[in-house]
Amino acid sequence: MCFVSLIPAIDRMAALVEIIRMGRIFLTFFCVFYYVKGRQDIHFILNCLLIALLFQALLMFAQYATNSLFIRLPGALTELDVVEQGLRPSGTMFHSSHFAKFSGLMLPIALAYIFFSPRLRNKLFMLSIWICGSVALVSTISRAGLASWLLSVILFFVGVIILRIVPIRQTVPLFITCILLVSISVYGLYLVGGQRLESRMRHDAGSSAARIPMWKVAFNVIKAHPIVGVGSKNYILVHQDYDHTPEHISTELPDFPVHNLFLLYAAEIGVPGLLFFLWFIWELLRGALRSTSNSHVPIDKAIYLSIVIGVISLFLQSTTGKGVTDHLIHLSVVAIFAACVAKRCSILDYYQVKGVNLSHTRH
């Protein structure tokens, strides 16, 4: 559908660059799918991503302490993300909301290792990643990020109980652990950044108020171009023509597309393109749940459950933001998750055809 969106695009070069960019994400999927041979490869990839999360969190601590970028990458933006509440560190991800979405993807994976890894050393290491990532998330004062963080913790424990990843007799202790973890974490994180978050809730420079007018403009664009959209990366070139809102939000914010990933995709590549994207995500979630049900090792069941939660967290945040379209990391991680899940499902299909019990194999 991206190729079809070249037809109505005003800036075809921008649309072509976006098509190439999206092609890199598909290449990521196929490369990872080819690389992965079994569960050990999947764990290796996930551990690398978690270490990347830890690096970003530590860098954000340094940025917050020094009130600077701390590291300047060649060709990267050099502007600080400063609001009324102070600096919002972003690591090397250029904007605090990018880290919030990345942490939404990865922190549930860390939870799975904390509770189900067979090695104590690995549990402690993953706990340090989860704590550092959570504290770094608080420093971004991302309201959507923090809401999805809390929801992901609750969904993790609910999923563990519903999917019976632990024996029934351990359900009550796990429920108590969930309550304690949520209570202690929320209290601790409030001590770290609660006042800044409260201030952000009260004084956000019109950030929240701008969302609904943006959505109204996007709906107008979609109504006018429902099939092929206006072209990838062409939204901001046309949105003023469809702005009939009293706020004239596209005039006030001419360089900002709609802060909703799904509306943005529908406007740029058409409703069929959005439906294809949603189908891809649905297949990922369905495959991950199937892998959860058919895995016989608790850590593997918890990992695939966490992938589901991480993807849900990302796209919940994307309903109020457009950061996924600005940075390759989010959809690249989704592509990595999809490749791991697809490989797992292909292994399941292979052994089902052979009539082999997967619990008797190393996969």
Does residue 21 surpass a pLDDT of 50?
A: yes
Q: Please state, as a whole number, how many other Cβ atoms lie within 10 Å of the Cβ of residue 146.
A: 21
Does residue 204 surpass a pLDDT of 70?
A: no
Contacts 24+ apart (CB under 8 A), 333-336: 333/49, 333/102, 333/105, 333/106, 334/105, 334/281, 334/284, 335/25, 335/26, 335/28, 335/29, 335/32, 336/28, 336/29, 336/32, 336/45, 336/49
- Residue 255 has a pLDDT of 84
The single-letter DSSP state of residue 37 is: -
Taking the C-alpha atoms of residue 18 and residue 299, their distance in angstroms, rounded to an integer, is 37
The single-letter DSSP state of residue 321 is: -
Degrees to nearest 5, angle at CA 299 with 298 and 301: 65
Confidence of residue 302 (pLDDT cuts 50, 70, 90): very high
DSSP string covering 228-292: T-S-TT-HHHHGGGG---TT-HHHHSTT---S-HHHHHHHHHHHHHHHHHHHHHHHHHHHHHHHH
Q: CB–CB of 328/24 below 8 Å?
A: yes
Higher pLDDT, 4 or 13: 13
For strand 86-87 and strand 82-83, is the pairing parallel, antiparallel, or unpaired?
antiparallel
Counting residues of the chain whose pLDDT is more than 90, the rounded percentage is 41
Confidence of residue 360 (pLDDT cuts 50, 70, 90): very low
Report the length, in residues, of the chain.
363
Give Cβ neighbours of residue 200 (< 8 Å, ≥ 6 apart).
83, 84, 85, 141, 143
- Residue 328 has a pLDDT of 73
Higher pLDDT, 90 or 157: 157
- The mean-pLDDT minimum among 25-34, 61-70, 216-225, 230-239 falls in 61-70
Look over the chain and give the mean of its residue pLDDT values, rounded to a whole number: 85
Query: What's the pTM?
Result: 0.90
Question: What average pLDDT does this structure show over 171-198?
Answer: 79
Higher pLDDT, 198 or 48: 48
Higher pLDDT, 363 or 100: 100
- Residue 205 has a pLDDT of 66
Question: What average pLDDT does this structure show over 253-271?
Answer: 89
